[in-house]
Amino acid sequence: MTSSSFVKDVAQLRQVLERNNISKEDVGEDVLIALLEQHASDEQRIDFVLLDLQDLLGKELAVGHLGETQEERWKELQAPRFNQHTQDEVLVLKESSLPTTLPCVIDLEQPSTSGQTIVYASPLSSNKRKMSGTSDDNLPKKPAHTYLIDREAEFHQSDCNRQPSDCRCTFVSWIWAQLPDAVKSVRSGKWMLFPSKQNVNEIWEKVKILLAENQLGNGAKVASGESKTYLICLYTYDFQDVRDVFRVLVSIRRNRLSGGYLNYKTDEATSQGLYTTDQAAQSAGFGSAKKKHPDEKVSMYSSPPPLTNNPKGADKDFVQLFLNNIEPDYKKGLVAEIRKDVGSGDLKEIFYNPPQIVQAAPPKKRTNPKSRKPLTNSS
């Protein structure tokens, strides 16, 4: 579908947002179209987009619920990402439920291409985690994430705390976090997160800790300044390394950095001006959005929320990775997933080559959520 195909959907979403006091300045049209594109093949895409917006804005859209689907999925999205009543936030840097046969070390000089998730014995606390080292235990140790490199550090003002929602430094475009000995990028790409203002600082701190623990890719950046929502980019060194891209995705899900729909975009696509809308392209300095094919997606990979495609929502560790733009018809295919083994209960990691092509669902008649009867024109 093209952006023109979503005119009615955008109008309906805008009506719900306005009834909940959310203006166009809070959520632009480009955001609505991008979310609609993610659910284009679903007849209840309005419901799903509203759920994504609730997650994005960090508030419930109390007015305008459209059906049972929204209520079902909102229960999952409502699960707290952060413990608001304690500073002892636990990061899933160790995963006791995984099979013990998986590798437990990632060598920075030889990035993982096995697709296996790093295995640890028990959870660690972000403010109590032990740091490795040979120095005297009585000497103070710096947290690992303090050694991360910010390539725009010199442009911050002396009193800036370098938190995305607080930074107002004129010459700072992004706040960066890069490993000093990170693997050099070959074909760089990034997972994109869109946290709300009230969550972005805490999520960014988690990102830095996970990055320093080799649980993400080779770097990250976050937008700064005054905004309702923020963009965080989590980079991987090679977008063709499906197993490494999936490894980072699994870490994002396990550490609850995002519970919504996720997209992975290559730096090559960004440099070529591949954007969802002309407005987004123009804000990045391009004349208009460029696409080779009407059905071409901006993102190379995508991952639905944990409950999507998940039978009865029973598997909380369920993660899927889809490859977009499979030629010649620009279809979408499943390339990797994690699910629990029915017999043992262990997490099973599966890769598909060639991808399992997703067949478009046949169109269905839309029904009134309350009466469950086909909708008819009132005119």
Note the pLDDT of residue 243: 96
Spatial neighbors of 354 by CB under 8 A, at least 6 apart, are: 333
Q: Which of 31-45, 220-234, 311-325 has the lowest mean pLDDT?
A: 31-45
Strand segments (E) across the chain: 90-91, 124-125, 174-178, 189-193, 219-223, 232-236, 262-266, 301-303, 319-326, 331-340, 347-357
Cα separation, 332 vs 352, in Å, equals 13
Higher pLDDT, 231 or 29: 231
Kindly list the domain boundaries of the chain, sorted by start residue: 86-126+144-259
* Token code pair at residue 206: 């988690």
Higher pLDDT, 373 or 275: 275
Note the pLDDT of residue 181: 75
- Fold classification of 86-126+144-259 is RNA Cap, Translation Initiation Factor Eif4e (3.30.760)
Spatial neighbors of 222 by CB under 8 A, at least 6 apart, are: 164, 174, 175, 200, 204, 207, 230, 231, 232, 233
Strand segments (E) across 58-163: 90-91, 124-125
Q: Is 254 left (phi over 0), alpha (psi -120 to 50) or beta?
A: alpha
Higher pLDDT, 316 or 204: 204
* Token code pair at residue 273: 């001006």
Note the pLDDT of residue 311: 59
Task: Answer whether residue 166 shows pLDDT above 80.
Answer: yes
Task: Answer whether residue 21 shows pLDDT above 80.
Answer: yes
- pLDDT band per the 50, 70, 90 thresholds, residue 272: confident
Task: Answer whether residue 109 shows pLDDT above 80.
Answer: no
- pLDDT band per the 50, 70, 90 thresholds, residue 115: very low
Note the pLDDT of residue 246: 97
Most confident of 5-19, 60-74, 80-94: 5-19
Higher pLDDT, 245 or 374: 245
Note the pLDDT of residue 151: 86
Tracing tokens 């140790």 back to the chain, one arrives at 141
Cα separation, 270 vs 285, in Å, equals 11
- Predicted model pTM: 0.62
Strands 90-91 and 347-357: unpaired
Cα separation, 309 vs 259, in Å, equals 14
Amino acid code (one letter) for 236: T
